[in-house]
Structure 1
Amino acid sequence: MIHNVKISQSYLFFLFIITFLSCKQSSKPDVSTIHLDVKIERFDQDLYAGKEKDLKQTDLLLQKKYGVFYDDYVHRMVGNFNYSNEEILSTLYKDQAYYDLNKEKDSVFSSLTPIEKDLTQTFKYIKYYYPKAEVPRFISFISGFAVQTPIGDNYMGIGLDMFLGKDSKFYMAIVESVPLYLSRRFTPTYIVPRVTETYAREELFREKDEDRSLLSKMIYNGKILYFMDQVLADEVPDSVKIGYTSKQLEWCKTFESDIWGYYLANDLLFETDYQKIQVFLSEGPFTPGLGEKNESAPKLGIWIGWQIVKKYMRENPTVTLQQLMTEKDMQKILQAAKYKPK
């Protein structure tokens, strides 16, 4: 009898844990009434399917179906305006590297349904906060590593050859132009976060030319990452949002107060000389001048900006996401954040 009571108590505790976790996961708004179904058009497959067909017919079909994207692809991504569409297609189809890359891409992306599902959810959140935001036409392609997530006239491209997985043999072959600290992020997991970031930066919240100080750029980038927090699935880790390894993220957390102290001690917050501040904003294997044995994370200004914005939103719970994103006074955000890492 006592044994049964123990089982019942354990069961109740288990139910409590499930309920608690469910409550935690429901922090995002209910978007079930927003009708949206993102589909990715497979230009990569349609292009390859034309390999054995008449070039002129293939060219006409692709022009009709993909319009501006096809023109951009032929003349800006894989070719230029010195050659005709048919000449570029012919060169592409004869290239063994194109064949090999297409084969590898198909082995990784036989279906894009999981990505479509995640993009649908993310863009439902975006539409919740910004009902007038236009969902772009998504088109997948391969371009020989020319571009990853281009935005054009009413389309957004997804360069599948730049998401094949960090151990892809192709990335070792292009290491001189694309270093490993970048290609380690070329995995399917990064597709939705990178699409979301590009869309936010290019379509919703363009950086203003006059925002030239390190603080302005820190807060701008921090707002972009905070926006991503709100519209990406909870399962997307912070390391993927910002493009860190888990070790780099832990390094940032461990030395947060030291990083902030470095900016203050060197009067960097209001510095506008791009040569001086770009080291804290740019991609790289680490941040020169900070940390020992090159263990520091890169783009530390962006990470600190993210922490400031998160602290600002915690300290000011009545501020909405929309108000945050339109706030132009970066100093006001810093002061109201009461950011003093220990």
Structure 2
Amino acid sequence: MIYNVKFHQSYLFFLFVSAFFSSLLVSCTQSTKPDVSAIHLDVKIARFDRDLYAGKSKNLSETNAFLTKKYGTFYDDYVHRMVGNFDYTNQEILTTLYQDSAYSDLNKEVDSVFKDITPIEKDLSETFKYVLYYYPKAKVPQFISFVSGFAVQTPIGDNYMGIGLDMFMGKNNQFYKAIVQSVPTYLSRRFTPEYIVPRITETYAREELFHERDEDRTLLSKMIHNGKILYFMDKVLDEKVPDSVKIGYTQKHIDWCKTFESDIWAYYLQNNLLFETDYQKIQVLLSEGPFTPGLGEKNESAPKLGIWTGWQIIRKYMQENKDVTLQQLMAEQDAQKILNLSKYKPK
């Protein structure tokens, strides 16, 4: 069987089964959103995490049959791609899970944090109403919650999107303190419930709606692509979601970028980086991290500055070109055209 599961922003660190973004800088976000009341959508999250744990006290073959029938492809991806591999049968992997006290402890912690996920379902419903408003043909996936021992956060597969609840339990959760050597604090500080809908939205946008083209290899093209993804999030997420959560920054990062915006832009220009295609030179401006090496004092700079700058360019572009629709923006592939028409020149 061919699997089509994508682990966007996954953190491949295993706890068990031993094989394991508020301030607006240049705001183009509308103060009022379009009316989506005519779009009927009621998202429900299937609690695979609970169904799986409940099977611990039942007949193994019956549990396997039940999970196979109810969750199909997701269940197969879970046992063979997230917590296990193809060298073992479903039942062998279930046995290993059920015998591991770490799995039980983690599952109980997740259940205590997420006793009621109705607020998350409501927010997902509202966000995807806006997705459907702008893209009526978009397919809303089945949402499934799970626990994988910090193996993956928001996987996307055939007709489903997973929500790894164990990677959203709250930044001060005791489990994250225990795995700090594998999952640094600059990552786990974002493992909070408020990040669920933004991360799901980002993953869906990147993997289902707006794929990055292989030919877009310059820093500018990557800045513009990532900026468009974040602008799309501006349009479909609740207006109360702060910029810091959208991009995964602290408020200090946002403030730093605002203070040094002109300096950041000058850095790109002085070092001829906009049309750079060297992977190593580009990645330092696009990758996750506690800060951007070589910029700022005392490691106070924000990480992935290329993505943040791309976002500001797109916001300025849409501010300067009010006749351009969201759909036209997302379809425009000429990064240089967008930069030119944005008139982006921070001072």
Normalising by structure 2, what TM-score?
Answer: 0.91
**Distance in 2 separating the partners of 1:231 and 1:75:** 33
User: How large is the RMSD of aligned CA atoms in angstroms?
Assistant: 0.9
| Aligned pairs for 1:111-130 within 5 A | 111-130=116-135
1:235 paired with 2:226, answer no
Name the structure 2 match of 1:166: 171
Which amino acid in the other structure matches residue 193 of structure 1?
Answer: P
Displacement of 1:84 after TM fit?
0.9
Displacement of 1:295 after TM fit?
0.2
Structure 1 residues 311 and 25, CA gap change in structure 2 (3 angstroms):
closer
The gaps in structure 2 that reach 5 residues or longer are 1-28
Name the structure 2 match of 1:21: none
Displacement of 1:58 after TM fit?
0.3
Which structure would you say has the larger Rg?
Answer: 1
1:252 paired with 2:290, answer no
Name the structure 1 match of 2:334: 329
Name the structure 1 match of 2:309: 304
Structure 1 residues 282 and 25, CA gap change in structure 2 (3 angstroms):
closer
SS in 1 for 2:154: coil
User: 1 or 2, which has the higher helix percentage?
Assistant: 1
Displacement of 1:176 after TM fit?
1.7
* Cα deviation code 1:143-200 (max 9, x no counterpart): 0000000001110000000000000111111112211100000000000000000000
Name the structure 1 match of 2:3: none
| Aligned pairs for 1:46-195 within 5 A | 46-195=51-200
**Distance in 2 separating the partners of 1:312 and 1:122:** 24
Structure 1 residues 25 and 262, CA gap change in structure 2 (3 angstroms):
closer
The gaps in structure 1 that reach 5 residues or longer are 1-23
Displacement of 1:223 after TM fit?
0.2
Displacement of 1:26 after TM fit?
5.7
1:36 paired with 2:56, answer no
User: Which deviates more from structure 2 when the two are superposed, residues 24-33 or residues 171-180?
Assistant: 24-33
**Distance in 1 separating the partners of 2:250 and 2:284:** 19
1:280 paired with 2:285, answer yes
**Distance in 2 separating the partners of 1:248 and 1:265:** 23
Displacement of 1:51 after TM fit?
0.5
SS in 2 for 1:235: coil
**Distance in 2 separating the partners of 1:81 and 1:130:** 37
Structure 1 residue ranges, 4+ long, deviating more than 2 angstroms after superposition: none
SS in 2 for 1:156: strand
* Cα deviation code 1:17-62 (max 9, x no counterpart): xxxxxxx986110000001100000000000010100000000000
Percent of aligned positions with the same letter in both sequences?
Answer: 78
**Distance in 2 separating the partners of 1:33 and 1:191:** 25
**Distance in 1 separating the partners of 2:105 and 2:177:** 15
**Distance in 1 separating the partners of 2:293 and 2:88:** 44
Which amino acid in the other structure matches residue 280 of structure 2?
Answer: Q
* Cα deviation code 1:288-326 (max 9, x no counterpart): 000000000000000000000000000000000000000
Normalising by structure 1, what TM-score?
Answer: 0.92
**Distance in 1 separating the partners of 2:248 and 2:197:** 13
* Cα deviation code 1:78-113 (max 9, x no counterpart): 111111111111110111100110111011100110
SS in 1 for 2:56: helix
Q: How many residues align?
A: 319
**Distance in 1 separating the partners of 2:171 and 2:54:** 27
